[in-house]
Homo-oligomer: A and B are copies of this chain.
Amino acid sequence: MKIKCGGGVVALSESQSEAQHPKIEDREPRKKKVVVLGTGWGATSFLKGLDASLYDVQVVSPRNYFAFTPLLPSVTCGTVEARSIVEPVRNIIKKTNGEIKFWEAECIKIDAADKKVLCRCNIENLVGSGEFSLDYDFLVVAVGAQVNTFNTPGVKENCHFLKDVEDAQKIRLSVIDCLEKAVLPSQSEEEQRSNLHFVVVGGGPTGVEFAAELHDYIQEDLIKLYPSVKDKVKITLIQSGDHILNMFDERISSFAEQKFTRDGIEVQTGCRVLSVNDQEITMKVKSTGSVCSVPHGLIVWSTGICTVPVIRDFMQEIGQAKRHVLATNEWLRVEGCENVYAIGDCSSINQRKIKDDIIDIFKAADKNNSGTLTIEEFQEVMDDIIVRYPQVEYYLKKKNILDLRVLWNDPQGNEREEIDIEGFKLALSLADSQVKSLPATAQVAAQQGAYLANCFNRIDHIEEHPEGPRRFTGSGHHNFRPFRYKHFGQFAPLGGEQAAAELPGDWVSIGHSTQWLWYSVYASKQVSWRTRYLVVSDWTRRFIFGRDSSRV
């Protein structure tokens, strides 16, 4: 079978369309080499789950620590210290059963043809060479993504991002700088207002949480120390869409907008930023088409992510050049590439459409080759279909269909005895509308890492006892069940000890109690007892002493 994939034509055998999960052969004394790129949510979750005694594992990342990124907005204002949300990778891998090696370096080239990665250490004043290459049998790519500036002029030079711990630390210093600048005796009132105009671009959870944190920091702590600037501080949140938090339930989104308006945070929806310089930000109001420039003291740019250069090069190499993001199959193996897996923000699962396999499914289900399916024949394949094509389950849920047999009815709702291929197509193809790419969140990356580690750990066992769904386009069963994301809900802290949460089952919770739920969930999700202790004691300290304003 040949499929056209991006710019190149890639040959994929049937068996390759599922994950080539690693196999440790008993007679081979050498352990297979697993190279992991990254130390973020995906990589860390993979490393924590992996039985490292089975493999020779090497980890490469420019950061020697894992960072609990959902607390980054808290770090920008000192509600939580940077160090409280990081854990050295070496500490994490020390606990795994076996010796994992870690190198603080950046992967600058993935050479899938020769099965090796080229890495470079960027530490200053290195005695000797910092470049080295690592061979792999299996590569796990979890390098994350970078901030998308949409090529807006001046953004890279004049805006803060909020992706890394360093970003958050820089923002913290800059906020204090803005206040110190504004109170100088040489400042005119207009200059004061410019220095104290904080702009947040992007109305997603990160931007909103940062705006809320900043508002609290200024109102609860800084105003007391800089009383003269009390009425001159302004926070503006710029969102290109019609609403902030538009990935959340509408109730949350409108609650957030109302709360921000009450708090005096200006929410400018329907605005697109055209350019930024060191003094002003220029934007276009979509509805009126008018362009305006406003002076700023600090801008935090938080509009979304895009692919990092090394992945872009890699995609070129493996024929994914025309894609936006590295595509994997449902078992997280990179498409068009043997033995390379990708998890987290750097990749996206290319969920197979049911309509592409519908004929094979029909054939497999039609045991007696009658050209029609009975309901019994249908029910027999349905379980495997639901595992292999999760969109079917989403579709059923969305349509509130509890009994599968409803699908069996004809368009008029009448029960049918048998169904032919056209009817079968009609019954299932609508489900493909429910194919959605997963959000670029910590939760997804962590689940993918854990899933992959579990597969790597059980590879020997699974060869004999495959647990995956039936192969409709071949014989036998897939070794593993495909990765399935389980959504546990999402928080949006809104400041003033209030938060909003979207919980599974379309539950929405907003208010002070949700903030306490947020505290307990985030405390429990910490990667180590050390960071848990630190984060909780940071919160306690903040309640007792407030946030610190030293420029450190």
Contacts and interface: CB of A to CB of B under 8 A. Distances in A.
A113 interface: no
A220 B537 CA distance: 24
A104 B180 contact: yes
A544 to B, nearest CB: 8
Contact of A165 (B177, B194, B552): B552
B65 A552 contact: yes
A225 B552 contact: no
Select the residue from A124, A127, A181 with max chain B CB neighbours within 10 A.
A127
Interface residues of A, number: 64
A116 to B, nearest CB: 12
A176 B81 contact: no
Contacts of A87: 550
A281 to B, nearest CB: 13
Contacts of A224: 94
Contacts of A13: none
B549 A184 contact: no
A195 B127 CA distance: 6
B129 A186 contact: yes
A541 interface: yes
Nearest to A278: B125
Interface string A249-281: 000000000000000000000000000001100
Given A127-B194, A185-B103, A534-B541, A225 B91 contact: yes
A425 interface: no
Interface in A167-196: 169, 176-177, 180-181, 183-188, 191, 194-195
**Number of identical monomers bound together in the oligomeric complex:** 2
Interface in A224-254: 224-226
Interface stretch (A130-138, A140-148, A328-336): A130-138
A125 B126 CA distance: 32
Given A90-B226, A127-B295, A549-B64, A132 B186 contact: yes
A533 interface: yes
A402 interface: no
Contact of A550 (B64, B185, B226): B64
A119 B534 CA distance: 40
A15 to B, nearest CB: 34
A63 interface: yes
A105 interface: yes
A34 to B, nearest CB: 16
Interface in A500-552: 529-530, 533-534, 537, 541, 544-545, 548-552
Contact of A537 (B121, B537, B552): B537
A169 B188 CA distance: 35
A478 to B, nearest CB: 36
Interface in A68-89: 78, 81-83, 86-88
A123 interface: yes
Contact of A548 (B83, B187, B295): B83
A297 B169 CA distance: 26
Contacts of A413: none
Select the residue from A81, A124, A128 with max chain B CB neighbours within 10 A.
A128
A64 B188 CA distance: 21
A373 B86 CA distance: 76
Interface in A184-213: 184-188, 191, 194-195
A295 B125 CA distance: 12
Contacts of A551: 63-65, 104
Interface string A96-132: 0000000111000000000000000101111111111
Contact of A127 (B132, B185, B279, B550): B279
A121 B191 CA distance: 14
A25 B64 CA distance: 63
B183 A550 contact: no
A81 B295 CA distance: 36
Interface of A: 63-65, 78, 81-83, 86-88, 90-91, 94, 103-105, 121, 123-132, 134, 165-166, 169, 176-177, 180-181, 183-188, 191, 194-195, 224-226, 278-279, 295, 297, 529-530, 533-534, 537, 541, 544-545, 548-552
The 5 closest A-B pairs by CB, nearest first: A65-B550, A128-B191, A104-B180, A90-B225, A132-B186
Given A125-B278, A128-B191, 12 more contacts: A63-B551, A65-B550, A88-B550, A90-B225, A90-B549, A94-B224, A121-B181, A126-B195, A128-B188, A128-B195, A130-B186, A529-B545
